[in-house]
């Protein structure tokens, strides 16, 4: 089901030359373009479909620091500050509200993990509150489960995915960026081994730097140029409920459901950790790098099956010439079929946990494609083999929350500015070295 997002208007002129081309109009691409435009850099933001219409509008809308991988935490902390400032800078609401995030559990192992995580997080300056059983019920009033405890991060928040990317793209365009939708980038123009521009379906745009922020499509784009970006795309299901009583002002996760209060009075609802993976040429290519992740507890909720991904879409095989229709034009908006059984189970879980919400129903259901790296930490990195080419992808389901920080880091790498955080953990070559392939610390 196509997700409704706010409308974005293209720039009136199509550029022949800019300093930087950003590929992909999701949260990472739009924030990269916005940060570059704010610095006076000439930038073109190109989207094969419509701004924010793939995973950046299909996620839960959480903006969190709590339970991030320790390599991601500094970026998440910085992103919270950018989220808070952005509406005021742009003059349009991105839907961000700093309302706190609550985790509850009836599992003592989860409590021990959260406590250990909190001790490490304090070294980075982030403090969350470990909850007793009584406090967990106070933070999640109206729930029927008997909680052993939980954790509360009062400085975390949420935003509205359907509003955010269009508003940020508007802000970029108002600051001089070119914004063009339904304009796929077919490949890189290379001059003397380095970036000289991009070939689009409308022709060549010359540029000295290119940022690939194509989400689920990034790995296939990179392979066309001999660049290995290990990625697996996980399909998730999310739903929107009809309006109901407010049981939480922000976000809540229990072992069975994750929900966010929406500005329209309903809830965005999902089942944590559930998804499906389709067998594909890309998946087989990088299977050994994901071996540890697939054997971990994180993989127990994943369904594996054969589907259309083997022959078509971001994980298929095959090459193309730049004067031919590319795979990016064949699928303007990636719109995976949602798992309706999973959606119904999520709603049943909500009704069981919150009797006060038994009157709410499913309003809409959608599927999304989550581009995931073997260690579930993003790649925000120059590609050493192609000077001028930077990848900002593989955010592993965390991209919406940490996207603004990721966009700023990508802009820093392009311009040579002092990086907002240490970029070393996000470097692409960690997979070739094998030094960081490990089981993720925390989802």
Average pLDDT of the segment spanning 237-247:
97
Q: What is the pLDDT of residues 333-352, one digit of tens each?
A: 999 999 999 999 999 999 99
Distances from the Cα of 303 to the Cα of 294, 307, 353, angstroms: 11, 12, 25
The full set of domains in the chain, from first to last, is 17-100+155-431 (3.50.50.60)
Q: What is the pLDDT of residues 194-217, one digit of tens each?
A: 999 999 999 999 999 999 999 999
Q: What is the pLDDT of residues 398-434, one digit of tens each?
A: 999 999 999 999 999 999 999 999 999 999 999 987 6
pTM: 0.95
Q: What is the pLDDT of residues 365-384, one digit of tens each?
A: 999 999 999 999 999 999 99
pLDDT of res. 371 = 96
pLDDT of res. 233 = 94
User: Looking at the predicted structure, is the pLDDT value of residue 440 above 70?
Assistant: no
Q: Determine contact, residues 258/272, Cβ cutoff 8 Å.
A: yes
Q: What CA–CA distance (Å, rounded) separates 398 from 395?
A: 5
Query: Please, which residues have CB within 8 angstroms of residue 145's CB and are 6 or more apart in sequence?
Result: 104, 106, 254, 353
Q: Is 432 in a helix, a strand, or coil?
A: helix
Q: What is the pLDDT of residues 159-188, one digit of tens each?
A: 999 999 999 999 999 999 999 999 999 999
pLDDT of res. 295 = 62
Q: What is the pLDDT of residues 43-71, one digit of tens each?
A: 999 999 999 999 999 999 999 999 999 99
Helix, strand, coil % over all residues of the chain, rounded to 5: 35, 25, 45
Name 240's bridge partners: 268, 364
Long-range contacts of 120-128 (CB under 8 A, 24+ apart): 120/70, 121/65, 121/70, 121/73, 124/70, 124/73, 124/74, 124/77, 125/77, 126/65, 126/73, 126/77, 128/66, 128/152, 128/153, 128/154
Average pLDDT of the segment spanning 206-229:
98
Q: What CA–CA distance (Å, rounded) separates 72 from 69?
A: 5
Q: What CA–CA distance (Å, rounded) separates 407 from 415?
A: 12
Lookup: tokens for 192: 């003397």
CA 366-367-370 angle, to 5 degrees, is: 140
């Amino acid at each position: 089901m196509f997700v409704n997002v706010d409308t974005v208007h293209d720039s009136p002129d199509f550029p022949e030359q800019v300093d930087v081309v950003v590929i992909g109009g999701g949260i990472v691409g739009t924030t990269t373009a916005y940060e570059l435009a704010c610095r006076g850099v000439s930038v073109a933001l190109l989207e094969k479909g419509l701004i924010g219409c793939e995973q950046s509008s299909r996620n839960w809308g959480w903006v969190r620091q709590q339970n991030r991988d320790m390599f991601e935490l500094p970026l998440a902390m910085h992103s919270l500050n950018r989220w808070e400032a952005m509406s005021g800078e742009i003059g349009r609401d991105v839907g961000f509200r700093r309302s706190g995030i609550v985790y509850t559990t009836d599992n003592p192992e989860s409590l021990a993990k959260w406590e250990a995580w909190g001790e490490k997080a304090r070294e980075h300056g982030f403090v969350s509150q470990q909850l007793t059983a009584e406090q967990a019920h106070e933070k999640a009033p109206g729930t029927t489960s008997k909680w052993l405890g939980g954790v509360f991060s009062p400085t975390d928040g949420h935003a509205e995915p359907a509003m955010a990317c269009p508003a940020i793209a508007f802000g970029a365009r108002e600051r001089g960026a070119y914004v063009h939708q339904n304009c796929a980038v077919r490949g890189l123009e290379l001059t003397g081994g380095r970036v000289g521009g991009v070939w689009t379906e409308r022709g060549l745009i010359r540029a000295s730097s290119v940022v690939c922020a194509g989400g689920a499509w990034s790995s296939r784009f990179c392979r066309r140029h001999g660049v290995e970006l290990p990625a697996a795309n996980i399909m998730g299901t999310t739903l929107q409920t009809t309006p109901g009583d407010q049981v939480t002002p922000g976000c809540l996760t229990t072992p069975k459901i994750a929900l966010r209060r929406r500005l329209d009075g309903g809830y965005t609802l999902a089942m944590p950790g559930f998804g499906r993976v389709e067998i594909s040429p890309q998946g087989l290519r990088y299977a050994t790098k994901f071996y540890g992740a697939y054997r971990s507890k994180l993989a127990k909720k994943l369904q594996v099956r054969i589907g259309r991904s083997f022959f078509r879409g971001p994980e298929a095989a095959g090459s193309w010439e730049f004067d031919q229709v590319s795979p990016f034009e064949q699928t303007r908006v990636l719109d995976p079929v949602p798992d309706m059984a999973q959606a119904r189970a999520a709603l049943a879980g909500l009704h069981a946990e919150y009797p006060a919400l038994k009157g709410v129903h499913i309003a809409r259901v959608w599927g999304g494609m989550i581009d995931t790296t073997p260690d579930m930490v993003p790649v925000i990195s120059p590609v050493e083999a192609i000077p001028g080419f930077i990848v900002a992808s593989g955010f592993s389901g965390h991209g919406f929350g940490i996207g603004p920080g990721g966009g700023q880091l990508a802009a820093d790498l392009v311009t040579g500015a002092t990086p907002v955080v240490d970029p070393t953990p996000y470097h692409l070559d960690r997979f070739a070295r094998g030094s960081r392939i490990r089981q993720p610390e925390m989802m």
